[in-house]
Structure 1
Amino acid sequence: MSATEFFSYSFALFIAAAIPGPGITAVVARALGQGFRTAYPMAFGLILGDIVYLTAVILGLAYVAQTFGYVFMAIKYAGAAYLIYLAWGLWKSGMKIDVNGEKKPLDGFKCFLSDLTLTLGNPKTMLFYLGIVPAVIDLTKVGLPQFAELSVVTFIVLLAVITPYMMLAGKARDWLGEPKKMQMLNRTAAGFMAGAATMILARG
């Protein structure tokens, strides 16, 4: 893979990822509702979903999107449904002020799966990899070493984009640490998460 291809792919991915979609919206909502660290499993789920699409394009499996269209639809609706479930949980936590500061244990794996399914069911993500990757990279020359390079680049670029969003959301949560403000923040985060689910469903 040439330097031109490397930087072209990195730049295109950075620009596309920097525009907040349902996945990043869900990650931000998680950071707002439960804190910076708890959002990382969702971020890794989002990144893995992107790498899955990258792998599909490189392996020449673009036809899967058409052949198994119903599977993608099911994944999309499952992801949206789980986001709504998380939003409801945040909304309920906003109805009660925890004066003792106790927190329920978080299931990181479920959060990971939620953003993975969102990414796999997001048409924007699929179209990016189907359209941009073949345009900037000669796929006929991509072997295992080049695929590994692309996967690492994808991971680094996406993490670099997502982390500032999570940090800002986490800081906002720290600044609004009073019980009543936290109650309002949890409900706001629930609204963001429900909005992300709506974005997914509205795309049909």
Structure 2
Amino acid sequence: MLTMDWSNILSLFGAMLILAAVPSLSVLTVSSKSASGGFIHGFFATLGVVLGDIIFILIALWGLAFLQGAMGDFFVVLKYISGIYLIWLGINTLRAKVNNQNLTKVDAKSLSSSFSAGLLITLADQKAVIFYLGFLPTFVDVNNIVYLDTVVIILTAILSVGGVKLFYAFLAHRSGLLISRKNKRLINYLAGTLMISVGVFLLTSS
């Protein structure tokens, strides 16, 4: 039985909507992917961001200590894998050629890179775990949570966070149609540098 009432659900939706709209690394990632590669790349980057948020929601609701105990050192290994992969994605972004957004065929490999960039940028934000641990208890009693509450919160995140990021992707895509090739290369440079910086931070942080 659902322990959350509709007022809590709507309040949670509104709060997530506003927080997702605040400029951040994920907004920059989604926007740069959409502007340089087309809306489809912004869409896949958004999927990665939303999946990262869902992971943090599950951690916050069901206990970081439990997950760490169950997965052990895999958490540390995952951090280093994410860091290396982000650096690799950043280097490829720096070297990428500016795409013609009128192309009808999209490389599936490049889409997976956009998805991975959105996911890893989100997972690399270590403040997100602390944020969700302090944020969600305002709207739901985590001590008495049931599985249906988890499903509702995840759906709320998909609609709010995903909706906002897709809106950013759409705006970036529309503006990207008017951006010169030189400026698109600059966008690629900024996005690539961002990914490399986050990857290096993951590898060097304790």
Query: Is the TM-score greater than 0.5?
Result: yes
Q: Distance in 2 between matches of 1:83 and 1:69?
A: 23
Q: TM-score, normalised by structure 2?
A: 0.77
* Aligned counterpart, 1:126: 129
Q: Distance in 1 between matches of 2:199 and 2:167?
A: 23
Is the 1:72–1:121 contact (alpha carbons within 8 Å) kept by the matching residues of 2? no
1:162 aligns with 2:161: no
Is the 2:90–2:195 contact (alpha carbons within 8 Å) kept by the matching residues of 1? no
- Structure 1 unaligned residues grouped into runs of 5+: none
Q: Distance in 2 between matches of 1:4 and 1:27?
A: 31
Aligned identity (percent) is 20
Secondary structure in structure 1 of the residue aligned to 2:64: coil
Q: TM-score, normalised by structure 1?
A: 0.78
Is the 2:86–2:120 contact (alpha carbons within 8 Å) kept by the matching residues of 1? no
Deviation at 1:91, TM superposition (A): 3.5
RMSD: 3.1
* Aligned counterpart, 1:92: 95
* Aligned counterpart, 1:111: 114
When the two structures are aligned, how many residues end up with a matched partner? 197
* Aligned counterpart, 2:24: 21
Secondary structure in structure 2 of the residue aligned to 1:175: coil
| One-letter code aligned to 1:63 | A
Query: Greater shift after overlay, 26-35 or 188-197?
Result: 188-197
Deviation at 1:175, TM superposition (A): 1.6
* Aligned counterpart, 1:194: 193
Does the C-alpha gap of structure 1 residues 201 and 92 become closer, same or farther in structure 2, counting only changes over 3 Å? Answer: closer
Deviation at 1:69, TM superposition (A): 9.7
What are the superposed Cα offsets for residues 29-51 of structure 1, whole Å, 9 maximum, x if unpaired? 11111011122122111101111
* Aligned counterpart, 2:64: 62
* Aligned counterpart, 1:40: 43
Q: Distance in 2 between matches of 1:21 and 1:64?
A: 29
- Structure 2 unaligned residues grouped into runs of 5+: none
Q: Distance in 1 between matches of 2:99 and 2:173?
A: 19
| One-letter code aligned to 2:178 | W
What are the superposed Cα offsets for residues 183-202 of structure 1, whole Å, 9 maximum, x if unpaired? 43133232134235436756
